[in-house]
Amino acid sequence: MIRNKYLTLIGAGLLFTAVSCTDGYEPEPVELVSIDFVFSKTDSLGTNAVKFMNNIYATLQNGHNRVGSDYLDAASDDAISINVSDPDVYKLAMGRYTASTRVESDMRWKEYYSGIRKANILINHIDVVPFMLTYKNAKGETKPLNVTMKAEARFLRAYFYYKLVEAYGPVPIVPETAYDVDASAESMSLERETYENCINYICENFEKAYEYLPSSRTSTLVNLPTSGAALALMGRVRLIEASPWYNGNEFYADWKRSDGTNFMPQVKDESKWGTAALLAKRLIKGSEAGSFKYKLHTVERKLDTKPLPENVPDENYPNGAGGIDALRSYAFMFNGETPAYNNDEFIYMCGYSSTAGDSPAWIATPTSLGGGNGLNITYATVKAFRMEDGSDINNSPLYPTNYWEAIGGSSQSFSDYTLPSDAAKMFDKMEMRFYASVGFNHCYWSGLSYIGTEGNQTKQTVTYYANGTAAPSSDHPEDYNHTGFTCKKYIHYVEDQLKGMMKSKTFPIMRYAEVLLNYVEALNELGSNTYTDEENGITVSRDVDEMVKYFNMVRYRAGLPGITADDARDVTTMRDLIKRERRVEFFCEGRRYHDLRRWGDAIDAYNEPVTGMNIAARSTDRKAFHTETVINNTRSHRVFSYKDYFLPIPRTTMDKNPKLVQNPGW
């Protein structure tokens, strides 16, 4: 970032023209305007400064589109993408990328450094704007608008660095003030910082943002960051830092900076778990005291709510699963039934299109319903869900031996959901998150009543047999579901892709359920030590009662029985419970991809064969179809080695900055 008095004016947004040796792309010849014009000392409305702020926000990706138009989950072990083209998510899953062949995803080196550069500019110049508009920060203090804009820029700067570190590991930290115009290329070439220094810098920025951001937003600004979002994401970053792959991993022992310092810490430090626990508890404490509005989203029990199994406590939530509708409580967060401004669980979120063709709904919807037929959920993911009594689907007394046979009788109806009588018994008596999330063979898709020109219709039961209703379109005969499962999580029961009638939705980047599970995970990894945040009056230790309390809040909301103190006392048992709960709770939210990496579990997970239903079987052979089958096609293959824990730094950037060293293995 060279110090320059000019900014580029592009459309309604403003961009900085000068280029750092570390960001890897060239300036474009554009119209120039001065910094004094953008950050004017006479503009009390700050019109151009606000446009510049909006341009920083434009660096963020919209909705779920983490890898082009595909779910990031299709690059993990949760799903596979069947796309008629050669999508980047497939290249990511197959390891078909190099430092020279970039994968378009949220792991975007140059875009995030561009955002960081613009955030630095705003932070350094916004104070000259004499804003008449004011706001109240988290402490209730009235401040001019430039204070919150600066806090937002710090939040975004921290978020961009966090996404860079998550993808690439340690990265260069660019100066917060621009270089002089006559600075040498040598002085502007930056070495990568250590991993710990990067994490500390990210958290320092989140902490400063937390101090000056408001604690809540109006309904029209619901997607803007708040103090709670800064605190929650700071907690996530510290949890990642504490995780096994980044905390004392000897795999990186020979990877060092020019001064001999290890890029990655080589000594395991339990206190990092303590820091993560303190941050999570700080937000939980604030929420319970009313400083924040966050809580798990629940919907009151209705007449059509399914009765609780006998082993599920019926005390009113959160002491049990009583008084709430588990299916609606979970589903309404994602399908648009609960508007974002009424959803107290979403801490930080972003929007996406609410029209027909909007990707989260469209890509998972069968062709006969106007969708793309392109997302395939693996059977391993399906088996992570539990039966309604909390038992393991892989070893449950509720799981029938004649699992392929039809349930029979009349179709079941509960919580605006219909379970057809011709669905297989293996899909009966599942937990409510399963019905809210997964589309399966003989699953009922409600929608609006409609008959299309080629017999397309909503309100139909979708089947994935070789001769089923989820057949591919004639235009793309190779584009069909290969596992017999898809994602219904972001699809409302009255939506209609064919008519173009879709609910407005938001995609969660951070929600309160993650804060609770982060807290439990961090506590579980603590030994006998106690950690204290004196400023905020918080102390944490491996408190079994705390772990049970907050883990069970997530379980009870799902209508399941909770865990016991005996479960929580054993570290390994609890660790496995946490990992499985996260896989289900954050299904198709993009967390699984990163969880596998921070835990160091990716090698094993990616080496497992992808399985699903036997879609080659016809409807006359139900048993054959409902038998677990290895999916053996090019899109189901996974390639992962130790180098893939981090993406390679782009070759163009490496060529411009001789002080950069590439990630191990690349």
The arithmetic mean of pLDDT across residues 348-361, rounded, is 66
Give pLDDT tens digits for 136-153: 877 788 888 999 999 999
Q: How confident is the model at residue 105 (pLDDT cuts 50, 70, 90)?
A: low
Half-sphere exposure for 471 (CA within 13 Å, toward CB): 12
The arithmetic mean of pLDDT across residues 630-654, rounded, is 91
> Which of these ranges, 1-5, 155-159, 249-253, 431-435, has the smallest mean pLDDT?
1-5
Question: What secondary structure letter does DSSP report for 39?
Answer: S
Give pLDDT tens digits for 272-330: 999 999 999 999 999 999 999 999 999 999 999 999 999 999 999 999 999 999 999 99
Pick the more confident residue, 36 or 592: 592
Q: Rounded to 5 degrees, what angle do the CA atoms 63, 559, 380 make?
A: 60
User: HEC string of 465-483?
Assistant: CCCCCCCCCCCCCCCCCCC
- Position 415 scores a pLDDT of 97
Strands (E), 420-488: 438-439, 443-445, 460-462, 486-487
> Which of these ranges, 64-68, 161-165, 260-264, 267-271, has the smallest mean pLDDT?
64-68
SS3 117: helix
φ, ψ at 501 (rounded to 5°) = -110, 105
- Position 407 scores a pLDDT of 98
Q: How confident is the model at residue 539 (pLDDT cuts 50, 70, 90)?
A: very high
Strand partners, 9: 14
Contact between 410 and 453 (Cβ < 8 Å): no
Dump the DSSP string for 549-618.
Answer: HHHHHHHHHTT-----HHHHHSHHHHHHHHHHHHHHHTTTTTHHHHHHHHHT-HHHHHHSPPEE--TTS-
The arithmetic mean of pLDDT across residues 493-503, rounded, is 74
Contact between 203 and 210 (Cβ < 8 Å): no
Residues 6+ apart with CB under 8 A from 608: 77, 380
pLDDT higher than threshold 70 for residue 84:
no
- Position 495 scores a pLDDT of 78
- Position 21 scores a pLDDT of 31
Q: How do 443-445 and 79-81 pair as beta strands?
A: unpaired
- Position 480 scores a pLDDT of 85
Question: What secondary structure letter does DSSP report for 636?
Answer: G
Question: What distance lies between CA 95 and its chain's CA centroid?
Answer: 21
Give the Cα separation of 81 and 486 in Å (integer). Answer: 10
Q: How confident is the model at residue 356 (pLDDT cuts 50, 70, 90)?
A: very low
Cβ-based neighbour number of residue 185 at 10 Å: 10
- Position 496 scores a pLDDT of 73
Structure tokens at 481: 């579901």
Give pLDDT tens digits for 503-531: 888 889 999 999 999 999 999 999 999 99
Give pLDDT tens digits for 375-416: 899 999 999 999 999 999 999 999 999 999 999 999 999 999
Contact between 362 and 372 (Cβ < 8 Å): yes
How does the average pLDDT of the chain come out, rounded? Answer: 89
Amino acid identity at 134: T
Give the Cα separation of 510 and 310 in Å (integer). Answer: 33
The arithmetic mean of pLDDT across residues 464-481, rounded, is 83
Length of the chain: 666
Question: What distance lies between CA 586 and its chain's CA centroid?
Answer: 8
